[in-house]
Amino acid sequence: MNDTQQRLFAIILKLHKPNIPVGLDLTLKDDLRLDSLSFTELVVACEDEFGIEIDMDHPETQAARTVGDLYSGIQRLISAN
């Protein structure tokens, strides 16, 4: 597990306290039970933690279904900086 994954998992644990181990394959809606407000809170926390800006209207953001999808988007934005 790399630093970005560890930091993302820590954010998820802090905000949502899932009763299952956090992994890249967890679904945001079904496993973590995120609604649109919870997802927005998660995105804002990620922006703050990683110093990036995540466009909520971007197709990749809207298509994010798993923690892995979110992680991939964060990695892409970090690499672009």
Contacts of residue 61, defined as CB under 8 A and 6 or more positions apart, other chains included, come to: 43, 54, 55, 73
Residue 3 bears catalytic tag: no
Integer Rg of the chain from CA: 11
Which of the residues 30, 35, 48, 55 is marked catalytic? 35
Q: How many other CB atoms are found less than 10 A from the CB of residue 40?
A: 13
Which are the catalytic amino acids?
Answer: 35
